Structure 1
Amino acid sequence: MPTPIRSRLTALAERLPLGVPPADGWERVKTGYWTRLVPLLALVALLTHLPSFVRPVWSPDEGFLATQARMLADGGVLYDTVVDRKPPLLPWLYQACFAVFGSASLWPLRTLAVVAHLVTAILLASIARGRWGNRAGVGAGLLYLLASIGLSPEDTQAATFEVFMLPAMVAAFRYAERRRWLAAGIAVALCSLTKQTGGAVMLPVLWMLFQDARRRGVRWVPALLKIGFGFALPIALVAVILTNPKGFLFWVVTGSGDYATFGGAWLQMIGRALGNSAILLGAGLGFLLPVGRRLWLKYRHRPLPVAGEEHGSTTDLWMWLLSSVVAVSVGFHFFGHYYLQLIPPLVLLGTGAIATSAVRWKPVLVYTTAAATVFWGLALAWPGERLDRTTEVATAVAAQTTPKDTVLVWGMHPELYWLADRKPATRYLTAGFLTNFSGGKDGTGSVGEQFSMANAWQTFDQEIAKGLPEVVVDDSGLAPYQPGMIPKIENLLETHYEMVGVFADTVVYRLKR
């Protein structure tokens, strides 16, 4: 006669996906749900992001982070002599990888980016499985990985802030769903310390807290205190102990007001917002159509054709999506990589719509795989003219200088510093800090010396006075911050430099002898 424990193990094994028969001991572990799903997701994560390894740098953000990491390794101080408007976790991660593997390549960061996507997929699979069953868990994990490359390759194949923000964001939602409020608060903090807009996931976390307290008739104050403590502790540790509190407050919180404003390029911003939304819609149409169909049937007050009972409300998922939309819209830049934040809640909403309706999984996965294949091929064939020119300029800069010399890149492509392996002459790695220019608002009129960050030009002058850079690269082209429109830069070039090379619209100057 079977023992009660053996009976429970047998019943559990009978619930394994795909009709796996009961098994004992290690054999049951080997055929378990996660031991089969995780390797599958790992393979798909690697395949979908394999193109990320074929280029030395995908975006200016990667170049900025790589240059920051070298400055930190050379003794720079974050939020003092090394500055950016972003939180510190990713610069520190770049610095750590460079310390272990060297700073000549970004392949360690690209590998960690694949791991970040994998962790995100596993967490989404866990959420979906708990709500809609085993098959939904598999579907959610696969849909996320396939949709995660459904934007411009420069936005999806780079190892940048949004990619490393997603695991903590999804973890925060998962912990809140399971009423682990302290862990949820910590996860929101880690998300915010990777990129500020990641903190938007606090909205669905609080929503789930108050809804849980209302349904169960319990006090919500102790849980709220746990969330607050979990959120505040990591941020206080980073701001007070690991960085300069004043510098952290300015660069991460208060110093981006002018950068994150509507400005005057509203047609450009609307065009970018609609364009990236359309691209993501096309990539995820397979699982977004069931969501649209469900909303339409609900609007028409028609009964939903379900294959089983509805597994709970999806209001928390809609709150998550709403918070992500707000996060994407902050600053009105609408860069493609911002849209990565929308994918997890969209995938879960799509998974729920499929799992609780007559829609079959096969056509959804076939379409999403086909779309991902198109984006995968696009990444391999992505034009490299800009990268080729940047590499050519970096080679020329390296030839004109020695490793001890400093360089000033007047433009928005700090990867030039990293590719040339030369030290920046200033802490301001892009012209945006000194002119308020942003690549997402080319048509705005608020660009010029008078719109710089507070005391930025005074700091710049002090740095230049310590030693003129050996080479200045004017990468402004026809941008509204070109030297002719910025008297300080124009005077610097006319007084101390001579032109030594022209590469398309990029001009290289060297110090006069």
Structure 2
Amino acid sequence: MAEVDARTRAEVDAGQGAQASDQWREIARRYAGMAGGFFVFALLVHVPGYFHQLYDPDEATIADQAITLQHGGRLYIDAIDRKPPLPTYLYHAAFAIFGNVDLRPVHLVAALLLAVAACAVAADVSLRTRAQRVWAGVLMITAAVAFLPDAGQAANYAHFALAPGAVAMVLARRRSKRAAALAGLALAVAVLCRQTWLIGLLPAGMAVARSRRWSHLGWMFGGFAVGIGIVVAWLPTADVWHWVFASNEGFLLTGPNWSMVAVSFFGGLALLVGLHLPLLIPVALRIRAAGSLRQAVQVDRDLWIWWATATVAWISGFRFFAHYWIQSLPPLVLLAAPTAARITGRLRTWILALLVVVTTAAVVAGFTPETFRTLPNTTPLAKYVAAHSRPDQPILVWGNLPQAQWESDRPLGGALVHSDFVTGVSGNRTADPSTVPATTPGAYKAVLRSVYTHPPQLVLDTSTADLRAYGGQYYDGKYPLSVFPQLKYFVDTYYTLAARVNGVTIYRLRQEYSGNSGAGS
């Protein structure tokens, strides 16, 4: 009798095990189908980027650093920007794989990462129905491209940080030690793509602390430290800390031009609200259903803190660039998705119609980005550089014209991705020589060390042309080389005037100078 009971229990257990296995297979099949749909959708909304290359100058600055790494340069020593390192290495890998500096492969990577972000928010524990999860993924993808093309289609720091940031937010809301550690690791990856995600430590910590197992906080911060440490260990730690985190005072604190700030803020806010109405309307309805903003915040406090800290990142420095807003999208999506899934009737029809119209308009606009933002034509400069230098010879572009460096496919001369670090030029600030005292600490020294150690074959002086903030106001530009006597002396002594292309003055290195490793220190 005991043997029969044991056999019966074994059969029941086997049946239950088979049933559970079938259930997990069905769940995996459903989620795989949903994830596949998100990937296809994300690839479709990024189609313009497979035909058009440069949308935003940030893409060119990342490319300039990657080109320099291809020629043996070192990040934060020979290729310097105030941005984190991971996007540069991603570009570097794409250039190495495809054997050119085409930006379309990294646009594809940005699309794939957007799909990962959609899958992440759809997997959040607060979304209990398939409809809510579908809405979360769709809102994530559509909101990320609902910008003007220079933000919606670009492959820049903000877009690369979106996926790991969304993963960190979702994992922090799960109440397990493993999830907490992985959340910290994902947040570290986001910070290494865009440093403003650092303030996400606050809402992530609050979400993890909801489990009331305080050791989970230690696991989260440990995961964050490991993620940062693994990458920084490959790089000169002091230089990473200086350029990415410690040298931004001038960028953040220099007094803005308040009239420019007002135009940027109100114009940018109106555009963001208008393009993201399909996302913001459900959030507003959620607040209305709760009775007040205070009561709505009490339900998902961590999501609101995620949104508040992301808004701080958008406000910081009073520049209000559209792509800064991308950090706000994951928490807004999770706040909107449950309400969006419950909306019925005419309002649902209007929201869906608005979603289709905004997304379609954003994608179509991506095919003609010059309609919304015209970048300087650097092709004549690139052709001249190609004809008068070798691929391994650095060139120095004096000014803020990173696309000239990228299109020329030459490593950086002077170490900096642009001259704003030494001139103090910055967004929503008046451009004139009075900004020079706001120079980034160590920037000018880095330029001199670089040009004396590895003298650029060509110097392209954009201050004599009406390009960006460097020319046009004074006879020889707003920021001529003469404002920096040591650099001016170097050019006058070792270079000869070679040509002028589209107003840009080009100097060529004299053959007798071969570099002096100690002269620039």
Q: TM tier, shorter chain? A: 0.7 to 0.9
In 2, Cα distance between equivalents of 1:226 and 1:467? 45
The residue number in structure 1 matching 2:171 is: 175
> 1:366–1:5: structure 2 CA closer, same or farther, 3 Å change rule?
farther
Q: Is the 8 A contact 2:120 2:170 kept in 1?
A: yes
Q: Is the 8 A contact 2:52 2:104 kept in 1?
A: no
| 1:510 match: secondary structure | strand
Does structure 1 residue 236 correspond to structure 2 residue 236? Answer: no
Q: Which amino acid aligns with 2:221?
A: G
Task: Give the C-alpha shift of residue 382 in structure 1.
Answer: 1.9
Task: Give the C-alpha shift of residue 466 in structure 1.
Answer: 4.4
Q: Which amino acid aligns with 1:157?
A: Q
Identical columns (%)? 28
Task: Give the C-alpha shift of residue 237 in structure 1.
Answer: 2.9
Does structure 1 residue 291 correspond to structure 2 residue 283? Answer: yes
The residue number in structure 2 matching 1:252 is: 244
Task: Please point out which of 378, 400, 403 is paired with 1:412.
Answer: 400
Task: Give the C-alpha shift of residue 177 in structure 1.
Answer: 1.1
Cα deviation, 1:197-252, whole Å, max 9, x if unaligned, reads 11222222112233332xxxxx42x122112211112222333x211121122112
Task: Please point out which of 136, 140, 146 is paired with 1:144.
Answer: 140
In 2, Cα distance between equivalents of 1:295 and 1:24? 36
TM-score if structure 1 supplies the norm length? 0.85
> 1:512–1:343: structure 2 CA closer, same or farther, 3 Å change rule?
closer
> 1:155–1:497: structure 2 CA closer, same or farther, 3 Å change rule?
farther
Q: Is the 8 A contact 1:60 1:412 kept in 2?
A: no
Q: Is the 8 A contact 2:143 2:279 kept in 1?
A: no
In 1, Cα distance between equivalents of 2:168 and 2:120? 10
Which deviates the most, 361-370 or 474-483?
A: 474-483
Does structure 1 residue 355 correspond to structure 2 residue 347? Answer: no
The residue number in structure 2 matching 1:211 is: 210
Q: Which amino acid aligns with 1:323?
A: T
Instruction: Spell out the pairing of 1:332-347 with structure 2 (5 A cutoff).
Output: 332-347=318-333
In 2, Cα distance between equivalents of 1:54 and 1:185? 36
Q: Which amino acid aligns with 1:394?
A: A
Task: Please point out which of 150, 153, 158 is paired with 1:157.
Answer: 153
Q: Is the 8 A contact 1:499 1:507 kept in 2?
A: no
Instruction: Spell out the pairing of 1:49-68 with structure 2 (5 A cutoff).
Output: 49-68=46-65
Instruction: Spell out the pairing of 1:28-47 with structure 2 (5 A cutoff).
Output: 28=26, 32-47=29-44
Task: Give the C-alpha shift of residue 395 in structure 1.
Answer: 1.8
Q: Is the 8 A contact 2:432 2:479 kept in 1?
A: no
May I ask how many residue pairs the two structures share in their alignment? 482
Does structure 1 residue 188 correspond to structure 2 residue 187? Answer: yes
Q: Which amino acid aligns with 2:199?
A: A
Q: Is the 8 A contact 1:263 1:444 kept in 2?
A: no
Task: Give the C-alpha shift of residue 475 in structure 1.
Answer: 2.8
Q: Which amino acid aligns with 1:337?
A: H
> 1:324–1:508: structure 2 CA closer, same or farther, 3 Å change rule?
same
| 1:39 match: secondary structure | helix
Task: Give the C-alpha shift of residue 321 in structure 1.
Answer: 0.6
The residue number in structure 2 matching 1:17 is: none
Which deviates the most, 201-210 or 132-141?
A: 201-210
Which deviates the most, 432-441 or 62-71?
A: 432-441
Which deviates the most, 261-270 or 32-41?
A: 261-270
| 1:186 match: secondary structure | helix
Structure 1: gaps of 5 or more residues: 14-22, 214-218, 305-309
Task: Give the C-alpha shift of residue 419 in structure 1.
Answer: 0.8
Q: Which amino acid aligns with 2:141?
A: L
In 2, Cα distance between equivalents of 1:126 and 1:55? 33
Q: Which amino acid aligns with 1:338?
A: Y
Which deviates the most, 66-75 or 116-125?
A: 66-75
Does structure 1 residue 370 correspond to structure 2 residue 357? Answer: yes
Which deviates the most, 361-370 or 130-139?
A: 361-370
| 2:256 match: secondary structure | coil
The residue number in structure 1 matching 2:451 is: 464
Task: Give the C-alpha shift of residue 358 in structure 1.
Answer: 5.2
In 1, Cα distance between equivalents of 2:304 and 2:157? 23
Q: Is the 8 A contact 1:132 1:355 kept in 2?
A: no
Task: Give the C-alpha shift of residue 393 in structure 1.
Answer: 2.2
The residue number in structure 2 matching 1:111 is: 108
TM-score if structure 2 supplies the norm length? 0.83
| 1:427 match: secondary structure | coil
> 1:404–1:38: structure 2 CA closer, same or farther, 3 Å change rule?
closer
* Aligned CA-pair RMSD: 3.1
Q: Is the 8 A contact 2:433 2:479 kept in 1?
A: no
Which deviates the most, 181-190 or 263-272?
A: 263-272
Cα deviation, 1:445-480, whole Å, max 9, x if unaligned, reads 7522x4322343333234333465343223343726
Structure 2: gaps of 5 or more residues: 1-7, 471-477, 511-521
In 2, Cα distance between equivalents of 1:93 and 1:235? 16
In 2, Cα distance between equivalents of 1:404 and 1:351? 51
In 1, Cα distance between equivalents of 2:245 and 2:255? 19
